[in-house]
Amino acid sequence: MAATSYIAETLGRRTNRGFFARLRGGDEISYLVTLASTVSILLIVGLIVFELWANSRPTFKAFGFGFLTSSAWDPNADKYGALPFIYGTCVTSFVGMLIAVPLGLAASIFLAEMAPPKLSNFLTFLIELLAAVPSVIYGLIGIFILVPAIRTYLVPPLKAAFGYLPIFEGTFYGLSFLSAGIVLSVMVVPFIISVSREVLMAVPVEQREAALALGATKWETTWDIVLPNASTGIFGSIFLALARALGETMAVTMVIGNAPRISASLLSPGYSIAAVIANEFAEANGDLYISSLIFMALVLFGLTIVINAVARIFIMTTQGKGI
Amino acid sequence: MMMEISATRRIVNGFMLTLSGVCTVLVVSVLFFILGYLLLHGASSLNWDFFTKLPKPSGETGGGMANAIVGSGKVLLMATVIGVPIGFMAGVYLAEYSGKTFAFAIRYVVDLLNGVPSIVIGIVAYALVVRPMRHFSALAGGTALGIMMIPIAVRTTEEFLRAVPTNIREGAMALGATKATTIFTVVIPAAISGLTSGMMLNLARVAGETAPLLFTALGNQFWSSGWLAPIATLPVMIYNYATAPEDDLHQQAWAAGFVLLTLVLIINVTARLIIASGPAAQRR
């Protein structure tokens, strides 16, 4: 950056004047205040980790890691197991990503490679607005519009064609893994698109020109040349979206059905980590009950942190900077 | 001379490119789909009572969400007071004082904080504020949303301050201004339109947050006095009413959803237009 002379200037200034002179000029105060704010962010992150860890101790002492593999969830008997919720979180996120990844990738290819810049910018603007829609609104649309629509238009043909598969077994009442997955896909697609589009646009034009000059079609250029070049960043965007999907609470809570059971069928109701916390935390009584919910929050926190950390590194390596 | 491209390759090319366009239209149409349904169900259930009356006890119809509208305002004000100063000051530090490696590390941590699910932040606010005070409160809700505002406050502040040209800083210092004076009277005013729009976007993002408020602000059927009592907020009301069995409450949930989405989108569009037309965007 061209700020070197500016920095050298200020550094020189700092060494030339006494501490109190600098204090009077406001220099040290502003330095210390801004530094303290920065450090306080680290403290807040530390506090988050500590609070989650400390408050989930009772459950860890009572059940150990067996908590994660047990599917007993009976607050009356003070028995807790996280497996149905972990299962629900994973299944809904998987369904969501299954839809969101191809859709988002196709859309970002269109926006980065084909659309004229003005149209591309306008459409990206609209897609960013989609990302700004609060999740409770997605839940509202999910309950009253999407779930009935899935019941009428999507499930009958699915059952007719693939009814013999265990994943489409059983009666469909509306609130289910499938509904939650579909709502999730719509919610995370903007994240895939906005990052992937940037990453694709960062691929040098020369690469495309070379491929086209060798006689490749526009699609071949995009698929064989541009995409492989941008693949790390695209994986980054997918991981980013996955972390969002895992932690998404309201929309999932409203359409998943809130039944702690493990079922292979996507048509049956389930539960997710975030949903059980949202539903039961305010009313939870008993230390072990609260502690079990917080333990699951810790699991969710760890999972999203790791996925986000990987995603950010992926994105940084293709872009040269974070987003 | 034009090379002959086989029919299959041409068809694949045309098909895949069209498909990508169709996918884009599909994604964008979701926005209009959402807007359309909220307009259809929400605007029709909206009336003056919604803005002026308290919720009716369960079983009775009518009533409004005046307390939730004010409540959302109060919680958001609290969140801004808690989150924005810390984020803003840290952003100033990263843009103006910090060394490269430290700035990189902080930016990384801040991005990770941004990715923490909101429900987890809610639990932390519960453990930090609700549990020691032994009751749900606007303060706890504001703390949760405030923590959520920090990452974006940091990143937007840093970005817009870095976009201010160095020669402006050098000009100020050449006139004898100290570094602090330069930052606070020259650099920040030069970036002010970007900074305010960034903070507006930040506010719009947490305005719709529901999950962290469920067990911090909780909710309230009545007016909430002061900052230490449970308080109703629009997003939590939407959730409670949408999942309740009564039809009348569903209508109210739609109306509240319409109000919330309109507010969020208006703030978003305005802020984005300001940023797009601002000096920072043109220099980029």
Per-domain residue ranges of chain B: 65-283
CB pairs under 8 A between A and B: 287
Higher pLDDT, B9 or A21: B9
Residues of chain B with pLDDT under 50: 1, 283-284
DSSP class of residue B54 equals P
Does 3.40.50.10170 match the CATH number of domain A63-319? no
The whole-number average pLDDT for the span A241-269 is: 94
Pairwise CA distance, residues B9 & A217, whole Å: 7
The yes-or-no verdict on residue A276 having pLDDT over 60 is: yes
pLDDT of amino acid B284? 45
Q: Is the pLDDT of residue A295 over 60?
A: yes
CA-nearest residue of chain A to B129? A51
* A-chain residues near B264 (CB < 8 A): 132-134
H or E stretch covering B137: none
CA–CA separation, A159 vs B67, rounded Å? 46
CB contact under 8 A, B207 and A134: yes
Indicate the pLDDT class of residue A169, thresholds 50, 70 and 90: confident
Contacts of B194 (CB under 8 A, 6+ apart): B156, B159, B160, B163, B274, B275, B278, B280
Residue ranges of domains in chain A: 4-55, 63-319
Split at pLDDT 50, 70, 90, the class of A20 is: low
Q: What is the pLDDT of residue A35?
A: 95
Please report the pLDDT score of residue A323 as a whole number.
Answer: 37
Asked if A52 lies within 8 A of B218 by C-beta distance, the reply is no
Residue corresponding to tokens 């491209």: B5
CATH architecture of B65-283: Orthogonal Bundle (1.10)
Q: Does the reported pTM lie above 0.80?
A: yes
Q: Which residue has the higher pLDDT, B277 or A259?
A: A259
Q: What is the pLDDT of residue A2?
A: 47
ipTM of predicted assembly, 2 dp: 0.93
Amino acid (one-letter) located at A178? L
- Note the pLDDT of residue A322: 38
pLDDT tens track for A215-245 = 999 999 999 999 999 999 999 999 999 999 9
Residue among A187, A65, A68, A145 nearest B117 (CA): A187
| Cβ atoms of B141 and B216 closer than 8 Å | yes
Compute the C-alpha angle A261/A266/A271, nearest 5°: 35
Q: Which of B210, B268, B269 sits opposite A250 (nearest CB)?
A: B210
Shortest distance between the Cα of A160 and any Cα of chain B, in A, equals 25
Rounded to the nearest angstrom, the minimum Cα separation between A185 and chain B is: 10
**Per-residue pLDDT tens for A48-88?**
999 999 999 999 999 999 999 999 999 988 999 999 999 99
Nearest to B10 among A48, A189, A217 (CB): A217
Tell me which chain B residue has its CA closest to the CA of residue A22.
B178
Identify the three-state secondary structure at position B55.
Answer: strand
Burial class (CB in 10 A: 0-12, 13-18, 19+), B209: buried
What whole-number distance in Å separates Cα of residue B229 and Cα of residue B220?
Answer: 9
Region of residue B63 (phi > 0: left; psi between -120 and 50: alpha; otherwise: beta): left
Q: How far apart are the first and last CA of chain A?
A: 19
Q: Do A254 and B183 touch (CB under 8 A)?
A: no
Whole-angstrom distance, CA of residue A154 vs CA of residue A166: 17
Question: Which site among A6, A39, A41 would you substitute to test the B interface, given the most B Cβ atoms closer than 10 Å to its Cβ?
Answer: A41
**Predicted local distance difference test score (pLDDT) of residue A27:** 80
* pLDDT of A278 strictly over 80: yes
- Phi (first) and psi of residue A115, to 5 degrees: -65, 140
Q: What DSSP state is assigned to residue A73? A: E
- The pLDDT tens digits for B100-154 are 999 999 999 999 999 999 999 999 999 999 999 998 999 999 999 999 999 999 9
**Which residues from B are below 8 Å from A21, CB to CB?**
none
Given a cut of 90, whether residue A25 has pLDDT beyond it is no
3-state SS, residue A18: coil
Identity of the residue in B28, B239, B257 whose CB atom sits nearest the CB atom of A126: B28
Q: Exposed (0-12), middle (13-18) or buried (19+): which is B260, by Cβ within 10 Å? A: buried
* Residue A62 token pair: 């009572």
**What pLDDT score was predicted for residue A321?**
42
Closest-CA residue of chain B to A242? B115
Confidence at residue B64, expressed as pLDDT on a 0 to 100 scale: 87
